[in-house]
C-alpha cells in the first residue's frame, strides 16, 4: 500500500470516529397518571391497555383506571414492578408492546394481590364476580385473567361463575372494558353470603363424622410458627386430624371445613374457608403476637359459627436465616404458640 493510500485510510478512520453515532429511536411509550380515580359501582372504558396478571388498566391518555388497580398501586406505587413500565425523572411510562393481543370485550375485576392469595381470591374476587354476574356485566364482558391455578378454576366452578377469558400476554388491548370498584375491606363484601350459599349448594362429602381439625402451616415461609410440630403431636394425641392444605385440593379443604365440628388453625389464608364451615362449628384461631385482625371472626359470624381467638404469648422472633427474600419485612418473623397454653385454652372451651 502506498504512503498516500495509508494516509487516506487514517484520515477516513478519524472522520468516522468524529461522526456521531445515530441514537436508537425510543420505543413508543405512554406517560402514566397514577392517581387512579375511585368510582362507585362498575364503570366502562374503551380502547384501553390491560395487564391481566395485575388488574391494571390504562387509557389512551395514560390514566390508570379501575378498582383492581389499587392493589397494584399499593404494592408498587410507581408501577415499576409491572412488565413494560419504566421509571425515570420521577415519572412512570408504559412502553407500548408491539403486537399485543386485542380483545373485543372483557371485565377487569381481580387485582394483583387477590390473584396470588387464596383468601383474597375467596373474599374479594369471588364476591365481586358474583355481584358482576348478578348485574349482567359478565354476560357480554367475560372476566379477563392470566392463566388460572387449579384452585382458582375450582373456586370459579364451585361458585357457578362463567369461564374467564384467559390470556398470558403481559399486556392486551381491550376495545371495551368493564372495571370493578375498589375491593371492600376484608371479609365485608355484601355478596359473601351468596358465595357461601353457592359453594355449599354443590354436593359435598356426607360422612357425618364431624371431625376435629388442626390446619397446619408447616410449609409456610412467612410468620412461621416455630413450635408447630409439637402442637401437631399434642393435638393428634387428642384426636385431631392434621390437615395439610398443600396436599389437599380446594374441594377437599372446603369439604373438611363444612363437616368439621372444631377447627384449630394459626392465622393464615386457608382460614378463608371459615366462610364454608357449619353453623355449629367452633373455630379457634391461633394468632401470632401482636395480631389484631378480626376477619376470621367476621367470617365465623357470617357462617353462624363460634370463634375463639388464642393470642400467642411471647414476642415475634427474627429468623436466623432469610426465609424468602421476596417477603415483606412485616411477614419475615417466627413465633411460638406455646403448646401447653394452647391445650389449656382448648380444654376450657371443650
Q: Tens digit of pLDDT for each residue in 215-251?
A: 999 888 888 899 999 999 999 999 999 999 999 999 9
| Residue pointed to by grid coordinates 391518555 | 61
Q: What residues contact 30, with CB distance under 8 A and at least 6 apart?
A: 49, 58, 60, 62, 93, 94, 96
Which grid coordinates are listed for 327? Answer: 417477603
Instruction: Give the span between the Cα atoms of 252 and 42, in whole angstroms.
Output: 34
34 and 173 part of one domain: yes
pLDDT for residue 263: 98
pLDDT for residue 202: 81
Instruction: Give the span between the Cα atoms of 115 and 247, in whole angstroms.
Output: 20
117 and 224 part of one domain: no
Instruction: Give the span between the Cα atoms of 171 and 179, in whole angstroms.
Output: 16
Q: What residues contact 146, with CB distance under 8 A and at least 6 apart?
A: 52, 53, 115, 166, 167, 168
15 falls within a domain: no
Q: Is 187 left (phi over 0), alpha (psi -120 to 50) or beta?
A: left
Q: Give how far the C-alpha of residue 53 lies from the chain's centroid of Cα atoms, to the nearest Å.
A: 10
Instruction: Give the span between the Cα atoms of 286 and 266, in whole angstroms.
Output: 4
pLDDT for residue 13: 62
Closest CA to 195 of 124, 293, 279: 124
122 and 245 part of one domain: no
- Separation in Å, CA 252 to CA 8, 81, 92, 280, 331: 82, 35, 44, 20, 28
pLDDT for residue 331: 66
The C-alpha angle with vertex 170 and arms to 49 and 323, in degrees rounded to 5, equals 130
162 and 235 part of one domain: no
169 and 227 part of one domain: no
pLDDT for residue 143: 96
Task: Specify the pairing of strand 91-95 against strand 85-88.
Answer: antiparallel
232 and 165 part of one domain: no
* Spans in the chain with pLDDT lower than 70: 1-25, 203-207, 319-331
Domain of residue 342, CATH code: 3.40.50
38 and 108 part of one domain: yes
pLDDT for residue 149: 95
307 falls within a domain: yes
Backbone Cα Rg of the chain: 26
The model's pLDDT over 3-43, given as tens digits with 9 standing for 90+, comes to 655 655 665 565 555 556 656 667 899 999 998 787 889 99
310 falls within a domain: yes
48 falls within a domain: yes
Which grid coordinates are listed for 149? Answer: 391455578
Q: Give 32's Cβ-side CA count (13 Å radius).
A: 30
201 falls within a domain: no
Q: What is the tally of structural domains in the chain?
A: 2
175 and 215 part of one domain: no
177 and 31 part of one domain: yes
Instruction: Give the span between the Cα atoms of 258 and 205, in whole angstroms.
Output: 9
Q: Residue 258 belongs to what domain range?
A: 210-346
pLDDT for residue 349: 85
pLDDT for residue 104: 97
Amino acid at each position: 500500500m502506498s504512503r498516500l493510500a495509508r494516509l487516506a485510510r487514517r484520515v477516513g478512520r478519524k472522520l468516522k470516529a468524529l461522526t456521531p453515532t445515530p441514537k436508537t429511536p425510543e420505543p413508543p411509550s405512554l406517560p402514566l397518571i397514577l392517581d387512579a380515580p375511585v368510582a362507585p359501582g362498575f364503570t366502562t372504558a374503551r380502547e384501553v391497555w390491560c395487564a391481566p396478571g395485575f388488574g391494571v388498566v390504562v387509557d389512551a391518555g395514560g390514566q390508570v383506571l379501575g378498582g383492581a388497580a389499587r392493589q397494584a398501586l399499593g404494592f408498587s406505587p410507581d408501577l415499576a414492578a409491572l412488565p413494560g413500565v419504566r421509571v425515570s425523572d420521577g415519572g412512570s411510562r408504559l412502553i407500548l408492546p408491539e403486537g399485543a393481543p386485542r380483545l373485543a370485550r372483557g371485565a377487569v375485576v381481580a387485582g394483583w394481590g387477590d390473584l396470588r392469595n387464596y383468601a383474597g381470591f375467596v373474599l374479594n374476587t369471588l364476591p365481586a364476580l358474583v355481584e358482576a354476574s348478578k348485574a349482567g356485566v359478565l354476560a357480554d364482558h367475560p372476566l379477563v385473567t392470566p392463566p388460572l391455578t387449579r384452585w382458582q378454576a375450582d373456586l370459579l366452578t364451585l361458585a357457578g361463575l362463567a369461564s374467564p377469558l384467559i390470556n398470558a400476554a403481559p399486556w392486551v388491548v381491550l376495545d371495551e372494558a368493564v372495571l370493578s370498584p375498589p375491593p371492600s375491606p376484608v371479609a365485608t363484601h355484601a355478596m359473601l353470603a351468596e358465595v357461601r350459599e353457592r359453594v355449599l349448594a354443590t354436593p359435598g362429602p356426607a360422612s357425618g363424622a364431624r371431625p376435629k381439625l388442626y390446619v397446619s402451616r408447616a410449609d409456610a415461609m412467612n410468620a412461621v410458627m416455630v413450635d408447630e410440630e409439637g402442637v401437631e403431636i399434642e393435638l393428634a394425641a387428642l384426636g385431631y386430624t392434621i390437615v395439610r392444605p398443600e396436599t389437599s385440593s380446594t374441594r377437599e379443604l372446603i369439604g373438611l371445613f363444612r363437616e368439621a365440628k372444631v377447627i384449630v388453625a394459626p392465622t393464615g389464608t386457608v382460614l378463608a374457608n371459615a366462610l364454608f364451615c357449619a353453623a355449629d362449628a367452633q373455630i379457634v384461631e391461633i394468632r401470632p403476637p401482636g395480631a389484631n385482625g378480626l376477619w376470621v371472626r367476621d367470617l365465623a359470624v357470617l357462617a353462624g359459627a363460634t370463634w375463639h381467638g388464642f393470642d400467642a404469648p411471647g414476642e415475634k422472633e427474627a429468623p436466623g436465616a432469610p426465609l424468602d427474600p421476596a417477603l415483606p419485612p412485616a411477614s419475615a418473623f417466627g413465633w411460638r404458640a406455646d403448646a401447653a397454653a394452647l391445650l389449656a385454652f382448648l380444654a376450657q372451651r371443650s
